């Protein structure tokens, strides 16, 4: 298949580029990953990030609490904000229900917010100002840019409006002058939107949500879904759509690797922001 | 014509309702309007707001500076923030170029930000939290609600992506579960989007941008444009579109009066936010 948007390949190239760039940084970059409680998926994700960070020569600190008071956690974050040896801070989601997620995330210094989830960074994104952008949307934009996909005036349809992916993507694509429609669970006749999309981005988490009759001939499809079924991984877009698409991301090997490398790029960008 | 969205009529009804509500407030509501420099249009707008405010029994303070240093202006705003007799603060736009608009607007206490332009209120809007919403988008939502227009799953097209109107409207309509497309100056084949819209909202400032061939039979059209031509006012939507629309706002007498009454409602809402 040569019509795939090869996130795996591109992320490896970006990793090499990042390695070269880091050589010129005299300080050691340090990423802190904070997790609270017990979530099996979280453990896997933290391990992935740790492995990638270490392979780039970053320090990786895994700060885990079985349980912690909100005020104490905020105190910990403030200490990390003030510590000049800490470059980036991630709060692993989901947090246990007894913690106020928004309050905790917004305690992070926006210049250390390498997940790009603070209000300050969201506002920067809306205002087209320099910002640490959430990793999945950033990774998708990098991938589209790598394949030189022209976005100006293009008809883009996003399915899914999460604050982690759909919403920031909407604003990133709008900032690039695409004409964007945001679809979601309450959209009627989803196909009426997807079938006309030059670029379709699906971020719902539902296997086979998008079938071949729903996509446009020659379109570009980005599949953000990761659905586990019978020990295998599937996206939200049925693989048959590859027959109609000009370019499409595979699952796995599409958006996933782009997300991890984007986090690592954000750590480097955070370093420069703090040095300014 | 009985297919008009009668902003004038609705705003008068809302004014009566607001009057009744204010009777129960023992404090006098005070709106401060800050303007800098000389802008003829600004003078007209300030007068309109003053007239409406006084007719509702609000105090209205017109704080005008021929010129002022940024730091001094911010100091003035901070004083007003701390003054418990001040309910709402407006910064009249445009400000002279030598002043940093964003910095000045974000000096306003979000609970006194009756134009809904601070970052804090934009983030509240994104997060569907209680917020002071910009007056024109708020007025449009109120008008649609008055006419009991069902938005869930509807195909909505907004033309124009300003931070004052288009962008906040996008999020307000999304929060109401509409499926929204945001078009703008870089959109190719605008008609391809407008002709399918169940609800079309146009906020560009260009007379006759939308003609009858571009709209859907039985659609709802909201015209935010105000264009002066040969001593008369025109919207962005050609009047012929009334023949196809199920409902449409006139210009003048549509969105305009809804904007002013929405500001007055925001002053009342700001009072309650501060009393909480």
pLDDT in tens, B175-226: 999 999 999 999 999 999 999 999 999 999 999 999 999 999 999 999 999 9
pLDDT in tens, B143-166: 999 999 999 999 999 999 999 999
Q: Where are the alpha helices (DSSP H) in chain B?
A: 7-23, 40-55, 70-82, 101-105, 119-126, 135-146, 166-175, 190-194, 255-275
* Token representation of residue B228: 């002066």
Contacts of A182 in chain B (CB under 8 A): 174, 179-180
Mark yes or no for CB contact B179/A161 under 8 Å: no
Q: Residue A141's pLDDT is what?
A: 98
A174 vs B126, B182, B193: nearest CB: B182
Q: Residue B40's pLDDT is what?
A: 85
B123 vs A122, A184, A192: nearest CB: A122
Structural domains of chain B sorted by starting position, each given as residue range(s) with its CATH number in brackets? 27-111 (3.40.50.10860), 135-256 (3.40.50.720)
- The single-letter DSSP state of residue A64 is E
Beta bridge partners of B247: B220
Nearest CA in chain B to A187: B153
Contacts of B134 in chain A (CB under 8 A): none
Instruction: Assign residue A237 a region (left: φ > 0; alpha: ψ between -120 and 50; beta: otherwise).
Output: beta
Mark yes or no for CB contact B161/A174 under 8 Å: yes
Q: Residue B58's pLDDT is what?
A: 98
Region B121-128 average pLDDT: 96
For the cut 70, the answer to whether the pLDDT of residue B234 exceeds it is yes
Q: Residue A6's pLDDT is what?
A: 98
What pTM was estimated for this model as a whole? Answer: 0.96
Contacts of B158 in chain A (CB under 8 A): none
Name the 3-class secondary structure at B239: helix
Q: Residue B2's pLDDT is what?
A: 77
Contacts of A155 in chain B (CB under 8 A): 192
B126 vs A120, A122, A153: nearest CB: A122
Q: Residue A117's pLDDT is what?
A: 97
Residues of B marked active site are found at: 49, 92, 115
Region B87-100 average pLDDT: 96
Mark yes or no for CB contact A152/B177 under 8 Å: no
Contacts of A184 in chain B (CB under 8 A): 174, 177, 179
Å from A105 to nearest chain B CA? 14
- pLDDT tens for chain A, residues 1 to 276: 579 999 999 999 999 999 999 999 999 999 999 999 988 888 888 999 999 999 999 999 999 999 999 999 999 999 999 999 999 999 999 999 999 999 999 999 999 999 999 999 999 999 999 899 999 999 999 999 999 999 999 999 999 999 999 999 999 999 999 999 999 999 999 999 999 999 999 999 999 999 999 999 999 999 999 999 999 999 999 999 999 999 999 999 999 999 999 999 999 999 999 998
Contacts of B152 in chain A (CB under 8 A): 186
B182 vs A152, A153, A180: nearest CB: A180
Q: Residue B85's pLDDT is what?
A: 98
What does A98-110 look like in DSSP terms, one character per residue?
Answer: TS-HHHHHTTS-G
Residue A176 known to be catalytic: no
Contacts of A119 in chain B (CB under 8 A): 119-120, 123
Distance in angstroms (rounded) separating the CA atoms of residues A254 and A259: 9
Distance in angstroms (rounded) separating the CA atoms of residues B115 and B133: 7
Residue A188 CA: distances (Å) to CA of A265, B145, B245:
38, 20, 21
Distance in angstroms (rounded) separating the CA atoms of residues B126 and B103: 20
Mark yes or no for CB contact A179/B167 under 8 Å: no
Name the 3-class secondary structure at A95: coil
Mark yes or no for CB contact A123/B127 under 8 Å: no
C-alpha B214 chain-centroid distance: 25
Catalytic residue among A15, A33, A49, A111: A49
Contacts of B154 in chain A (CB under 8 A): 188
For the cut 60, the answer to whether the pLDDT of residue B1 exceeds it is no
B153 vs A102, A161, A186: nearest CB: A186
Q: Residue A1's pLDDT is what?
A: 57
Mark yes or no for CB contact A182/B186 under 8 Å: no
Å from B249 to nearest chain A CA? 24
Pairing of strands A59-65, B247-248: unpaired
B181 vs A167, A179, A186: nearest CB: A179
Collect all residues from A whose CB is shorter than 8 A from any CB in B: 102, 119-120, 122-123, 126-127, 152-155, 161, 163, 167, 174, 177, 179-184, 186-188, 192-193
Q: Which of A116, A187, A191 to mutate to test the interface with B (most CBs of B within 10 A)?
A: A187
Nearest CA in chain A to B183: A179
Mark yes or no for CB contact A181/B184 under 8 Å: no
Mark yes or no for CB contact B186/A177 under 8 Å: yes
Give the Cα-Cα-Cα angle A76, A77, A78 (nearest 5 degrees): 90
- For A88-127, letters b (16+ CB in 10 Å) and e give bbbbbeebeeebeeeebbbbbbbbbbbbbbbbbbbbbbbe
Q: Residue A91's pLDDT is what?
A: 97
């Amino acid at each position: 298949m040569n019509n795939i948007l090869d996130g795996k390949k591109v992320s490896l190239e970006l990793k090499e580029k990042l390695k070269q760039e880091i050589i010129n940084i005299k300080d050691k970059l340090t990423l802190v990953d904070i997790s609270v409680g017990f979530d099996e998926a979280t453990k896997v994700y933290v391990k992935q990030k740790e492995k990638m960070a270490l392979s780039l020569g970053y320090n990786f600190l895994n700060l885990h609490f079985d349980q912690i008071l909100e005020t104490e956690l905020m105190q910990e974050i403030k200490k990390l904000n003030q510590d000049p040896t800490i470059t980036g801070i991630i709060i692993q989601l989901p947090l246990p229900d007894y913690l106020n997620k928004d309050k905790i995330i917004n305690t992070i210094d926006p210049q250390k917010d390498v997940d790009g989830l603070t209000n300050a960074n969201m506002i920067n994104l809306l205002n087209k100002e320099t910002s640490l952008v959430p990793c999945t949307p950033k990774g998708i934009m990098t991938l589209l840019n790598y394949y030189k996909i022209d976005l100006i005036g293009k008809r883009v349809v996003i399915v899914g409006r999460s604050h982690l992916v759909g919403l920031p993507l909407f604003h990133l694509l709008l900032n690039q002058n695409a004409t964007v429609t945001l679809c979601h669970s309450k959209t009627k006749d989803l196909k009426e939107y997807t079938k006309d999309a030059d670029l379709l981005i699906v971020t719902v988490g539902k296997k086979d949500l998008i079938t071949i009759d729903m996509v446009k001939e020659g379109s570009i499809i980005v599949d953000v879904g990761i659905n586990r079924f019978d020990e295998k991984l599937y996206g939200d877009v049925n693989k048959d759509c590859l027959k109609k698409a000009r370019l499409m991301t595979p699952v796995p090997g599409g958006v996933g690797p782009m997300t991890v490398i984007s986090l690592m790029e954000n750590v480097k960008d955070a370093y420069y922001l703090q040095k300014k």
